[in-house]
């Protein structure tokens, strides 16, 4: 079937789904948003993997995985670009996009499925997505099944009673870094969204909807709150800034990636290579333990390939060295 619109099969509670919808809106690409669970037959027809989002092109091709979807569409719809012209900034944006997708999702999943309040709220929202016309008893029964399944999957992202205080502290630190950076700019790299905004902004948008994290964001970081809602309907309101103007408040975010995300991702990849069932890594003096995750190792490999393509950039190398990122990318 050939259509004049793209179809996005996703879910409101999926940060990767709303990330893609945000990108489509920014580019003004004609599309149809479809709740995945309400279109199960069509989804299975095009999906290679049971993951969302799934984008079906006007040529009837199915594409999955949010980052490759954006990279494919950016070639078809290059304007306005989400990549700064400066190669240094373009790579830093890609690094933060990866940080958002992988590390940001760890923070989201833990908080969404750790406490009873968040579990109950999230499970009921998901249940209504699956059965929007069901009665309260049916929704309640399905929500309980969803809660039991999802709350038992914390180990996959390293969420446990032992790591809970650490993950909460990582979330607090991230907000403290972002709040001043967003005080006088609309997006992470200036007055238009970059690749980084789509990766990190929509993870935090989801956290701005969940009970525990929403309360923290709303109480402490009004600039972050405005940014994440802005990212649901992003606009091109001006140019990207240069590194000189971004450095004072963006450098701490990169240092956060070099302190937590990249050491964790590197240890995860090593554990998979060594066929270890669990691994632990020192993150800023604290031991963090979990079972390894295959996808994250692949995405780290892609990030390293991206860096290798621009590794002769001395300005970029200096920034990465100063923020503790370089050693993990070489």
Domain boundaries, the chain: 6-76, 87-112+157-328, 117-153
- State the pLDDT at residue 1: 54
CB hemisphere CA count around 220 (13 angstroms): 16
Mean pLDDT of the 153-162 span: 88
Q: Has residue 2 got a pLDDT over 80? A: no
Alpha helices in 85-201 (DSSP H): 87-99, 105-114, 116-130, 136-151, 164-181, 195-196
Residues 24 and 18: beta-carbon distance below 8 Å: no
Q: Residue 267: which H helix or E strand, with range?
A: helix 262-273
User: Which single residue is written with the structure tokens 């190669």?
Assistant: 87
CA-to-CA dists, residue 154 to 115, 118, 163, 215, angstroms: 11, 13, 10, 22
**pLDDT band at residue 92 under the 50/70/90 scheme:** very high
CA 21/CA 322 separation, integer angstroms: 35
Name the superfamily (CATH) of residues 6-76: Glutaredoxin (3.40.30.10)
Mean pLDDT of the 78-99 span: 98
- State the pLDDT at residue 222: 98
CA 206/CA 262 separation, integer angstroms: 23
Q: Which three-class secondary structure state does DSSP give residue 287?
A: strand
Residues 6+ apart with CB under 8 A from 202: 15, 16, 18, 19, 22, 100, 228, 231
- State the pLDDT at residue 297: 86
CA 249/CA 288 separation, integer angstroms: 27
Q: Is 13 left (phi over 0), alpha (psi -120 to 50) or beta?
A: alpha
Q: Has residue 158 got a pLDDT over 60? A: yes
CA 44/CA 46 separation, integer angstroms: 5
- Show the tokens assigned to 188: 């992470």
66: closest CA among 108, 8, 109, 111? 8
Share of the chain above pLDDT 90, in %: 94
9: closest CA among 27, 28, 44, 113? 44
Q: Has residue 45 got a pLDDT over 80? A: yes
Supply the mean pLDDT for the chain.
96
**pLDDT band at residue 311 under the 50/70/90 scheme:** confident
Q: Has residue 258 got a pLDDT over 70? A: yes
Kindly give the interhelix angle for 164-181 and 211-220, rounded to the nearest 10 degrees: 40
CA 165/CA 161 separation, integer angstroms: 8
Q: Which three-class secondary structure state does DSSP give residue 29?
A: coil
Give the dihedral sign, CA 55/200/123/147.
Answer: positive
CA 250/CA 243 separation, integer angstroms: 9
- State the pLDDT at residue 228: 98
Residues 206 and 15: beta-carbon distance below 8 Å: yes
17: closest CA among 41, 42, 34, 29? 34
- Show the tokens assigned to 149: 């399944």
What predicted TM-score, i.e. pTM, was given to this entire model?
Answer: 0.96
- State the pLDDT at residue 58: 96
Q: Give tens-digit pLDDT for 180-231.
A: 999 999 999 999 999 999 999 999 999 999 999 999 999 999 999 999 999 9
């Amino acid at each position: 079937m050939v259509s004049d619109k793209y179809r996005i099969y996703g879910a409101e509670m999926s940060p990767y789904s709303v990330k893609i919808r945000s990108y489509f809106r920014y580019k003004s690409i004609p599309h149809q948003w479809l709740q995945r669970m309400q279109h199960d037959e069509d989804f299975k027809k095009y999906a290679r993997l049971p993951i969302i989002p799934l984008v079906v092109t006007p040529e009837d091709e199915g594409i999955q995985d949010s980052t490759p979807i954006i990279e494919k569409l950016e070639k078809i719809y290059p304007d306005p670009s989400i990549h700064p012209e400066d190669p240094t900034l373009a790579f830093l944006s890609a690094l933060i996009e990866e940080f958002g997708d992988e590390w940001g999702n760890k923070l989201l999943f833990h908080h969404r499925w750790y406490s009873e309040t968040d579990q109950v709220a999230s499970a009921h929202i998901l249940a209504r997505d699956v059965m929007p016309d069901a009665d309260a008893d049916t929704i309640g029964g399905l929500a309980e099944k969803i809660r039991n399944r999802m709350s038992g999957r914390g180990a996959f992202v390293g969420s446990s009673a032992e790591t809970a205080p650490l993950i909460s502290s990582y979330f607090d630190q991230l907000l403290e870094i972002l709040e001043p950076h967003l005080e006088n700019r609309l997006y992470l790299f200036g007055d238009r969204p970059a690749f980084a905004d789509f990766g990190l902004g929509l993870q935090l948008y989801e956290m701005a909807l969940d009970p525990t994290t929403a309360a923290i964001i709303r109480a402490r970081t009004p600039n972050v709150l405005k940014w994440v809602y802005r990212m649901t309907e992003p606009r091109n309101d001006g140019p990207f800034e240069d590194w000189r103007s971004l450095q004072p408040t963006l450098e701490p975010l990169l240092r956060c990636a070099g302190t937590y995300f990249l050491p964790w991702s590197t240890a995860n990849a090593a554990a998979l290579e060594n066929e270890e069932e669990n691994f632990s890594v020192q993150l800023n003096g604290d031991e963090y333990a979990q079972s390894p995750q295959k996808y994250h190792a692949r995405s780290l490999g892609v990030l390293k390939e991206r860096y290798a393509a621009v590794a002769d950039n001395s300005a970029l190398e200096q920034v990465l060295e100063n923020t503790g990122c370089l050693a993990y990318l070489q």
